[in-house]
Amino acid sequence: MKVLIADDHEIVRKGLRAILEGQRECEVVGEAADGRNAVTMAKDLVPDVVVMDLSMPSLNGLEATRQILKMRPQTKVLILTMHESDPLIREVLDAGARGYILKTDAGRDLLAAMEALRRNKTFFTSRVAQMILDGFLKGDARPAASSDTQPKAGRLTARQREIVQLLAEGKSSKEVAVALGLSVKTAETHRANIMRKLDCHCVSEVVRYAIRNKIIEA
């Protein structure tokens, strides 16, 4: 099973590599330090599984998951993160990830998760599985998020969510254009449309929106 590791912390990547390479069934084919590189490497290296952090620069893990699975639906994505909010878990499942484990549980659950994915099954760390079950038992498979996040988030396209992250990270329109292969004019048009859709009047409001919606970390 060919595995790509995507995490912006080198020590985490090295630790995961050490664990996975100790298993005969796994071959680590690459390491990505941000979501954009993860997408590129997934295209070039064709991994069977991507172990994906959610909070990464340039392109967050949720958007990277969406792009990878759109490009290669047969690839399995295992989310490895510190976050366990119910709305975020639901977004990850909607994006097509096959597993979700917390970094605090990685020592116990990582190999079990990899084995489950190898057998074409899903795997969720115990606390996440309980949250999913609770939502199902309440008959609330897709609850509405708070009014200041979900309606606005739902109106953004995938490209606009990418640009929100870059703007929130302090990138100028020119830097956004270079990162995404756009003209500066197109990047500025996207920026104006985003500000209008989110009813934001300055970049600091875009940053707050990005933090609330887990596009970047505070």
Same structural domain, 110 and 193: no
pLDDT at 139 over 70: no
Assign residue 120 a region (left: φ > 0; alpha: ψ between -120 and 50; beta: otherwise).
Answer: left
Same structural domain, 108 and 197: no
Q: Which of 72, 106, 137 is the last residue of a domain?
A: 137
Query: Into how many domains does the chain fold?
Result: 2
Predicted confidence (pLDDT) per residue in 31-53, tens digit = 999 999 999 999 999 999 999 99
The arithmetic mean of pLDDT across residues 115-135, rounded, is 81
Tell me the pTM: 0.74
Q: Which of 89, 110, 137 is the last residue of a domain?
A: 137
Predicted confidence (pLDDT) per residue in 191-206, tens digit = 999 988 888 888 888 8
> Does any domain span residue 15?
yes
Same structural domain, 133 and 159: no
> Does any domain span residue 181?
yes
Same structural domain, 80 and 115: yes
Same structural domain, 121 and 24: yes
SS3 60: coil
Same structural domain, 12 and 98: yes
Q: What are phi and psi of 59, to 5 degrees?
A: -150, 120
> Does any domain span residue 144?
no
Mean pLDDT of the chain: 85
Q: What is the CATH number of the domain that holds 128?
A: 3.40.50.2300
What is the residue range of 175's domain?
Answer: 150-212
Return the C-alpha torsion angle 148, 154, 156, 159, nearest 10: 130
Same structural domain, 59 and 154: no
Same structural domain, 119 and 159: no
Same structural domain, 116 and 9: yes
pLDDT at 145 over 70: no
Q: What is the CATH number of the domain that holds 199?
A: 1.10.10.10
Q: Check if the beta carbon of residue 41 is closer than 8 Å to that of residue 4.
A: yes
